[in-house]
Amino acid sequence: MTASTELWRLSAAQTAALVQGRAVSATEVAQAALARVAAVNPRINAIVDCRPDQVLARAAAIDAALARGEAVGPLAGVPVTIKVNVDQAGHATTNGLRLQKDLIATEDAPMVRGLLHAGAVPLGRTNVPAFCYRWFTSNLLHGRTRNPRNAALTPGGSSGGAAAAVASGLGAIAHGTDIAGSVRYPAYACGVHGLRPSFGRIANFNATAARDRTIGGQIMAVSGPLARSVHDLRLGLAAMARPDARDPWQVPAPLTGPELPRRAVVCLRPDGMATAPAICDALLQAAERLRDAGWVVDEIDALPPLKDAIPLQLALWLGDGYAQMVKTAEQEGDPGAIAALAGQAEFARGVDLPTYSDALSRRVTVARAWELFLADRTSAVLLPSSAELPFEDDLDLKDAASYQRVWTAQLPQIALPLTGLPALSLATGLVEGKVPVGIQIVASKFREDVCLTVAEAIEARMPSLPVAEPQA
């Protein structure tokens, strides 16, 4: 039996099994998690809102339900974290903004309801860059989040707090969101796993929002789980994907589909991307591990379009209401948000109605090419998460060339959301013991189970990364 003070080390699956079996109480788990937060979070600032009394009250309610013989769900007593850009009743949906520090939610967003229904215990709310605009996590309200594996590197963004938290044992599962890599890149940067589900898999709705999201946000922004094990991603996905009528576009697709051929492809340099050698090595090693699991894995030189998707993604994301986005960013005064928008100013201001309409139409062409490729050629694609190893922190603010370097490297992060396909960021190791590296796995629409199966096969054949121990 793990000592009660070390319960925070356990996976979500292990924790839930112990709590459901009454081997430990949810309260003991919560106390261990809170102690870990107190010991580690001041070094990394991943969780920016933790309320111990609420955490312990929720855990006590789980214990009481178990004592009455009631079912408490597959995540019974599991500590989880919630990103500050979604509604959690009684908490501010700040999105990293001083402008929204008093925007208190009165109801839970769909994925929060799902986690609670599954028996999870929210441990705290995690940090984001202002407006969730960057692959780096800092803002004027909550401050900077540090990468727990290497403080010189970005923790990623916009779910940087989520990834840093789960990497360092602050919760077993973290909630994140992703419109251009905001789940996948933080997972990559912090050495954990992250799943961007298919568009429509997990319901989205914030009652605190003054209006519903624009078209780009509606069709490309999704929520998804981050975790230290692939199996925990499965549990997080199942909990978050609970039906919710507040999102008319949610699709009640089954979480498991029919058996597919055990055939995958690996592409080291999609669209000629200048992939770093260490990332190529990680991809080739992952492919070999997948072959060892009985899969046929072919190395190929080309994939369906990624570069062609970038201007379409940006047009749909930034082209609707860009001037207002700039105005609000300037009102907030956040230098990262202002710089992120300024870097795309020329492009965004050139998006008129015909351009926007054309981007929406051509989105289908790109998505179709990917679906046909997956249907005709392979069950899964292994490709880079980024062309580079995790960036030094705030690289995008250094100068114009550095900003462009960041955006060029992030081709797979930006392009894939346009397709609506699921994509999983799998941590595979540390370069020279200090820089996380990993790969990305893509499958057909609503076939997250294929991404997870491939990831589990690779994970089972590689050393697991230890929980991060941030330096003081």
- CATH code of the domain in which 324 resides: 3.90.1300.10
Question: Do residues 276 and 229 lie in contact, with contact meaning Cβ atoms separated by under 8 Å?
Answer: no
266 pLDDT more than 80 = yes
CB 21: neighbour CB atoms within 10 A? 10
Give the model's pLDDT for residue 1. 46
User: Is 472 within the bounds of a domain?
Assistant: no
Q: How confident is the model at residue 2 (pLDDT cuts 50, 70, 90)?
A: low
Give the model's pLDDT for residue 5. 75
pLDDT, tens only, 120-147: 999 999 999 999 999 999 999 999 999 9
pLDDT, tens only, 15-53: 999 999 999 999 999 999 999 999 999 999 999 999 999
pTM: 0.97
User: Is 12 within the bounds of a domain?
Assistant: yes
Amino acid found at 82 = I
CB 244: neighbour CB atoms within 10 A? 17
Region 456-471: mean pLDDT is: 96
pLDDT, tens only, 276-327: 999 999 999 999 999 999 999 999 999 999 999 999 999 999 988 999 999 9
Domain count along the chain: 1
User: Is 383 within the bounds of a domain?
Assistant: yes
Distance of CA 456 to the CA centre of its chain: 18
Region 350-376: mean pLDDT is: 96
Give the model's pLDDT for residue 164. 98
CB burial readout 82-114, b (16+ within 10 A) else e: bbbbbbbeebbbbbbbbbbeebebeebbbbbbb
User: Is 359 within the bounds of a domain?
Assistant: yes
Peptide bond into 386 cis (omega under 30): no
61 pLDDT more than 50 = yes
Region 144-172: mean pLDDT is: 98
- Contacts of residue 64, defined as CB under 8 A and 6 or more positions apart, other chains included, come to none
Region 263-277: mean pLDDT is: 98
User: Is 37 within the bounds of a domain?
Assistant: yes
Strand partners, 72: none
Question: Do residues 138 and 336 lie in contact, with contact meaning Cβ atoms separated by under 8 Å?
Answer: yes
Mapped to the 3 state alphabet, what secondary structure does the chain carry?
CCCHHHHHHCCHHHHHHHHHCCCCCHHHHHHHHHHHHHHHHHHHCCEEECCHHHHHHHHHHHHHHHHCCCCCCCCCCCEEEEECCCCCCCCECCCCCHHHCCCECCCCCHHHHHHHHCCCEEEEEECCCHHHCCCCCEECCCEECCCCCCCCECCCCCCHHHHHHHHCCCCCEEEEEECCCCCHHHHHHHCCEEEECCCCCCCCCCCCCCCCCCHHHHHHCEEEEEECCHHHHHHHHHHHCCCCCCCCCCCCCCCCCCCCCCEEEEECCHHHCCCCHHHHHHHHHHHHHHHHCCCEEEEECCCCCCCCHHHHHHHHHHCCCHHHHHHHHHHHCCHHHHHHHHCCHHHHHCCCHHHHHHHHHHHHHHHHHHHHHHHHCCCEEEECCCCCCCCECCHHHCCHHHHHHHHHHCHHHHHHHHHCCCEEEEEEEEECCCEEEEEEEECCCCCHHHHHHHHHHHHCCCCCCCCCCCCC
pLDDT, tens only, 89-100: 999 999 999 999
User: Is 285 within the bounds of a domain?
Assistant: yes
User: Is 464 within the bounds of a domain?
Assistant: no
Helices 448-459, 277-292: axis angle to 10 degrees equals 90
Give the model's pLDDT for residue 4. 72
Question: Do residues 89 and 214 lie in contact, with contact meaning Cβ atoms separated by under 8 Å?
Answer: no
What's the domain range around 327? 4-459
Strands 79-83 and 121-126: parallel
pLDDT, tens only, 398-411: 999 999 999 999 99
Between the alpha carbon of residue 374 and those of residues 114, 167, 267, 379, 468, the distances in Å are 30, 32, 14, 6, 36
User: Is 417 within the bounds of a domain?
Assistant: yes
Phi, then psi, of 341 in degrees rounded to 5: -70, -40
Question: Do residues 112 and 91 lie in contact, with contact meaning Cβ atoms separated by under 8 Å?
Answer: no
pLDDT, tens only, 234-260: 999 999 999 999 999 999 999 999 999
As annotated, the active-site residues are 83, 158, 182
Q: Rounded mean pLDDT of the chain?
A: 97
